[in-house]
Structure 1
Amino acid sequence: IQGIPIKQAPAGSERVEAARQLLESYYKQIIVDGFFHADPHPGNLMWWKDRIYFLDFGMVGAIGADLREHLLLLLMALWQEDAAFLTDVTLMMTGAVNRKDLDVPKFQSEVGDVMAKFRSADLSEMQIGPILQEMSVVSLRHGVPLPASLTLAIKALAQVQLATAELDPTLDPFDVAGKFLMRSVV
């Protein structure tokens, strides 16, 4: 296969646009299609003629329609920086909406802390994959573990954001998410 590692892609507007398209393609693969390349580290991505190509489809993931709907709402809550909405979506996703033993205000406070930590971070640290990883830890601590099928998607998002940072370290994943959501919801 012809091409060069994405780290070696020539500087320019094509590289910046490719980073945006790569991240958006993952939102689409996971949330719209429900089927995604689950190992998108920079070694599995090649650059050729101003395009990114995926290699090694040995690890793929699949997500059902119900979870995809919840992920769309979750992404919307992150984009809107709405901790209450994110808490509600997480509880819906985990089936814990009516749990009497759950301290919802405390859970929401910790969810808000995670969101604030990442939204106030430098652009290079503002990544949706790690936010979801930390959300998973908070959810588990409160006895509402995220669905296991989400684990591979979280891993893939974290990896693809590392790859996009190689191409464009200034890319704001929330800006890309917002534009993706506007097209997906409308």
Structure 2
Amino acid sequence: MEREVFKRACAQGGEDMRLAFRQLYEDYGRALLRECSMCLRDPEAARDALQNALLRIWKSCASYRGDSELFPWLKRVARSVAIDELRASAVRPPSSHSLAAAQEPDPALPDELPGPEALTASRLALARYRECEARFREAEPEAAAVIRWIAEDELSIEDVARLLNRTPQATRQYLYQCRRKARHYLAPWYAEVAGGER
């Protein structure tokens, strides 16, 4: 389903939105279930998460403006719901260091905006990174998922251990192997970025 078609149907509401949502499920339902399954590993829990994700998507339809591509947006919602359910199933004390860190200014943020040359170099580096990342995801899907859970979804080692059905210690060792594999696939990007800084 095209983003603009879905956006129009959401804006019109009623029968158009219902038909668009049915088409959306036919087009992306299996892929979204696979995304939930990667997080939860339990088929029944993954189906429940998919239903909750579809409900969240349905409720968000009216506010969908089409700023992002449709499938990545759907995947983010499904993954977010699955991670929420994973976290809800585990009892853990609240983390106070994340609140303290959010109050301090980030020294890595630049003081000035980059110029056109820097923006062009940044776009080229990003394109190269995406090529390398796609090769990594294709060749090592589980390792890429583990890296994504840690880096993007900010899951703890304990959460990832639960997803992989391993002990936290075994997960730390596996994460080391995953990072090593990622470095191998991202080496061309690293070389390009390092070469551009000289």
Q: TM-score normalised by the shorter chain: which range applies?
A: under 0.3
Q: TM-score normalised to the size of structure 2?
A: 0.25
User: RCO greater where, 1 or 2, for CA within 8 Å and sep 6 or more?
Assistant: 1
Q: TM-score normalised to the size of structure 1?
A: 0.26
**Whose strand proportion is higher, 1 or 2?**
1
**Whose helix proportion is higher, 1 or 2?**
2
Rg (Cα) greater in structure: 2
